[in-house]
């Protein structure tokens, strides 16, 4: 038993010389993605073993051919021709079978890449808002792309290169031990041990350069994506040169890491070449001496040379293979870091299925802070009855929009409870909670697709007639008539080809299609002109009938008709009532109202790119 344990320990130590413990863990994580095609993989490996066995016969054919041509049988044409034909056939068969295994592995790797990509995008959509606010999209997409691409490279390297090389070295060593002097096998083993040890140690030393290069590459990619997404802002402030300089700072770090990488690579390649050629020199010197002593024929010398080539030519590529392998593991490791990230907001084990169709909301002594240092909401309590239109107003930073985020459970509260239709939101499944809520945010972002697709996003099963009806209810009818392509008009990245008011109305239209029990309008008119504001408010009036509606607003004129108004200041409700009641109180609300009335001025109508181009 002790002997068995020692054997296992030695095998593990040997394996960990080539791959680190975390690399084996990464391989274990990849296994489920390849398990679907395990029989294809086993079949391909069987073919690979057969190819290796076939190539081991080639040096013996060369030996027979050379000896046949140099001896008395040289005049017999059939023997050399047969050997040449056999040699050519085996080489062709080896190439054909290798291509077959590549084709088999191709189907396996493509399916694995597809499954990993799908799992990644699903996982990223399930992560909480805090994760996406603290990570940059450009860096995430780079890590995703490199990780998915590395999967195919890993399988190719581990099977067609590393496994194939070890099969070849093992096969040649066994043949030399059984057919020729043990010294040849000893030379190979010594050369392989020195070569592998040198390669692993130097490559491990060089790995930080690869990581640093990847980090800088991700930062540069993130900078480029951020700069291009905010193209208009860059132009408005004339900061093109600044953006280029900041991008180049990351590229400079990348260049420096790559430079160190290249110099260390030159040293690695030189050392590897020394061990390879020293091994070949030792084998050929020993063979030449045995030929001179009459122990071997010229054919044996050729065969040994062929065996040496079969061992040392692939071995000479081990450095590049190992570098590529470590790079792939680094990329896959980053990808699994994303997959292993756990969302802070998840369904509890006791979450229940419940239909949220009443329209009742209650906050019970809710406290919340984003960073645990500055309280946003403090001991807040209020209730909203079914079908009510309720507004939250107050100074910026008071916590109005936070209420909407907590209601959608983008964050979990620090204390208290939030009830929806009498159920704590922590006991409601997230899908059901969010399906009952519809929101029109302050900055309504759209997909770079058609108006139709953006509106239908509220309910992907809706018909064209339902989309048109929702567009008209959101007061988009005039816009659709002005656009030559109507609903098929592409709105541009984030909807930049539309004005602010038009984007808000599209957001309202897709919320109409969702047909939620609760509607939330988060500063839906804060950045609009008076004409657009009136249009949006008309649309909100059309939509909110029969729904519990929450209006989060800065402009008090847009919520004067609300059933109930909560005035929030420093995370607490300081006043509540309807518009008339709050005006009579002559408190915070009255002061805000007076200030806004004094500064109320008419504003020119904001036009979209489509409207400007038609002038």
CATH number at 195 reads 1.20.1560.10
Same domain, 412 and 371: yes
pLDDT at 418: 92
Closest C-alpha among 218, 207, 23 to residue 140: 218
Q: Quick one: three-class SS letters along 419-466?
A: EECCEEHHHECHHHHHHCEEEECCCCCCCCCEHHHHHHCCCCCCCHHH
Domain presence at residue 158: yes
pLDDT at 362: 93
Same domain, 304 and 368: no
Same domain, 193 and 309: yes
Same domain, 334 and 371: no
Buried b (16+ CB within 10 A) or exposed e, 177-190: eeebbeebbebbee
Element (H, E) at 67: helix 58-70
pTM beyond 0.75: no
pLDDT at 6: 44
**Domain range holding 385?**
361-613
For the beta carbon of residue 223, count every other beta carbon within 10 angstroms.
21
Domain presence at residue 375: yes
Q: Which residue has the tokens 């780079």?
A: 142
Lowest mean pLDDT, pick from 71-85, 355-369, 442-456, 480-494: 71-85
pLDDT at 606: 44
pLDDT at 79: 54
Q: Is the pLDDT of residue 564 over 80?
A: yes
pLDDT tens, position by position, 249-268: 888 887 887 788 788 778 88
The distance of Cα 480 from the centroid of its chain, to the nearest Å, equals 37
User: Domain boundary at 340, 370, 397, which?
Assistant: 340
| Cα 426 from Cα 415, distance rounded (Å) | 12
Same domain, 336 and 421: no
**Average pLDDT, stretch 463-487?**
85
Cβ partners under 8 Å of residue 384, min gap 6: 360, 361, 362, 390, 548, 550, 564
Q: Is the pLDDT of residue 365 over 90?
A: yes
Domain presence at residue 549: yes
pLDDT at 360: 92
445, 475, 528 from 537: Cα distances, Å = 19, 10, 11
Same domain, 179 and 35: yes
DSSP secondary structure string, 551-568? EE-S-GGGSTT-SEEEEE
pLDDT tens, position by position, 291-314: 888 888 888 888 888 888 878 777
Domain presence at residue 12: no
Same domain, 441 and 329: no
pLDDT band at 9 (very low <50, low <70, confident <90, very high): very low
pLDDT band at 84 (very low <50, low <70, confident <90, very high): low
pLDDT at 363: 93
DSSP secondary structure string, 235-279? HHHT-HHHHHHHHHHHHHHHHHHHHHHHHHHHHHHHHHHHHHHHH
**Average pLDDT, stretch 553-565?**
83
226, 287, 295 from 252: Cα distances, Å = 19, 52, 61
Same domain, 258 and 140: yes
For the beta carbon of residue 256, count every other beta carbon within 10 angstroms.
14
- First-to-last C-alpha distance (Å) of the chain: 89
Domain presence at residue 569: yes
Q: Which of 46-50, 329-333, 565-569 has the highest mean pLDDT?
A: 565-569
Structure tokens at 458: 């509220």
Decide if 291 contacts 300 (C-beta within 8 A). yes
pLDDT at 383: 93
Q: Which of 29-38, 88-97, 176-185, 313-322 has the highest mean pLDDT?
A: 176-185
Domain presence at residue 350: no
Same domain, 413 and 305: no
pLDDT band at 81 (very low <50, low <70, confident <90, very high): low
DSSP symbol at 285: H
| Rounded percentage of the chain residues whose pLDDT exceeds 90 | 6
Same domain, 135 and 261: yes
Domain presence at residue 539: yes
- CATH code at 464? 3.40.50.300
Same domain, 174 and 298: yes
The number of folded domains in the chain is 2
Q: Which residue has the tokens 């239109």?
A: 389
Lowest mean pLDDT, pick from 59-68, 181-190, 279-288, 420-429: 59-68
Same domain, 509 and 445: yes
Domain presence at residue 215: yes
Q: Is the pLDDT of residue 7 over 50?
A: no
pLDDT band at 138 (very low <50, low <70, confident <90, very high): low
Decide if 549 contacts 522 (C-beta within 8 A). no
Q: Is the pLDDT of residue 419 over 50?
A: yes
Decide if 375 contacts 369 (C-beta within 8 A). yes
pLDDT tens, position by position, 490-540: 888 777 788 877 888 888 888 888 888 898 888 766 655 566 667 677 777
Decide if 361 contacts 407 (C-beta within 8 A). yes
| Rounded percentage of the chain residues whose pLDDT exceeds 70 | 87
Per the rule left: phi > 0, alpha: psi between -120 and 50, beta: everything else, 294 is left
């Amino acid at each position: 038993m002790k002997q068995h344990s020692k054997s296992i320990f030695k095998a593990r130590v040997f394996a960990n010389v080539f791959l680190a413990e975390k690399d084996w863990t990464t391989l274990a994580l990849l296994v489920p993605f390849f398990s679907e095609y395990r029989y294809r993989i086993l079949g391909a490996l069987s073919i690979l073993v057969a190819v290796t066995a076939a190539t081991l016969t080639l040096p013996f054919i060369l030996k027979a051919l050379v000896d046949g041509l140099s001896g008395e049988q040289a005049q017999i044409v059939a023997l050399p021709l047969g050997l040449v034909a056999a040699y050519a056939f085996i080489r062709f068969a080896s190439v054909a079978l290798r291509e077959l295994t590549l084709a088999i592995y191709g189907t396996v790797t493509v399916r694995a890449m597809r499954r990993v990509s799908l799992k990644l995008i699903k996982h990223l959509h399930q992560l909480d808002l805090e994760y996406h606010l603290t990570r940059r999209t450009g860096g995430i997409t780079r890590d995703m792309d490199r990780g998915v691409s590395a999967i195919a490279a890993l399988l190719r390297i581990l099977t067609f290169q590393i496994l194939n090389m070890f099969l070849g070295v093992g096969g040649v060593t066994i043949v030399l031990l059984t057919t020729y002097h043990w010294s040849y096998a000893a030379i190979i083993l010594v050369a392989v041990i020195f070569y592998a040890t040198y390669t692993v140690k130097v490559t491990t030393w060089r790995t930080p350069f690869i990581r640093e290069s990847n980090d800088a590459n991700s930062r540069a990619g993130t900078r480029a994506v951020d700069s291009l997404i905010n193209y208009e802002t860059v132009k408005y402030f004339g900061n093109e040169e600044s953006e280029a300089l900041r991008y180049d700072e990351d590229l400079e770090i990348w260049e420096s890491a790559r430079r160190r990488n290249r110099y260390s690579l030159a040293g690695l390649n030189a050392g590897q070449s020394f061990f390879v050629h020293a091994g070949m020199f030792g084998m050929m010197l020993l063979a030449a001496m045995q030929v001179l002593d009459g122990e071997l024929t010229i054919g044996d010398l050729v065969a040994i040379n062929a065996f040496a080539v079969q061992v040392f030519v692939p071995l000479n590529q081990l450095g590049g293979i190992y570098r590529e392998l470590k790079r792939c593991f680094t990329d896959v490791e980053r990808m699994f870091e994303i997959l292993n990230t756990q969302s802070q907001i998840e369904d509890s084990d006791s979450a229940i299925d419940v239909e949220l169709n009443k329209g009742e909301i209650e906050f019970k002594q809710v406290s919340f802070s984003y960073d645990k240092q500055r309280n946003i909401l403090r001991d807040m309590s209020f209730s909203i009855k079914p079908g009510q239109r309720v507004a939250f107003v107050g100074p910026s930073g008071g916590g109005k929009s936070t209420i909407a985020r907590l209601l959608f459970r983008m964050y979990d509260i620090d204390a208290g409870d939030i009830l929806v239709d009498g159920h704590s939101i922590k006991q409601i499944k997230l899908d059901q909670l969010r399906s009952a809520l519809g929101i029109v945010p302050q900055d309504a972002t759209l997909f770079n697709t058609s108006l139709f697709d953006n509106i239908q996003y509220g309910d992907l099963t809706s018909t064209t007639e339902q989309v048109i009806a929702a567009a008209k209810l959101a007061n988009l009818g005039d816009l659709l008539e002005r656009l030559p392509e109507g609903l098929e008009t592409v709105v541009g990245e984030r909807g930049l080809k539309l004005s602010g008011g038009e984007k808000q109305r599209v957001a309202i239209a897709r919320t109409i299609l969702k047909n939620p029990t609760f509607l939330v309008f988060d500063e839906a008119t804060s950045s609009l002109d008076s004409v657009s504001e009136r249009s949006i408010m008309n649309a909100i009036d059309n939509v909110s009938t029969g729904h519990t509606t929450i209006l989060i607003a800065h402009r008090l004129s847009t919520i004067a008709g609300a059933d109930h108004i909560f005035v929030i200041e420093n995370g607490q409700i300081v006043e509540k009532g309807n518009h008339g009641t709050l005006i009579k109180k002559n408190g915070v609300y009255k002061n805000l109202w007076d200030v806004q009335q004094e500064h109320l001025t008419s504003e020119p109508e904001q036009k979209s790119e489509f409207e400007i181009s038609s002038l």
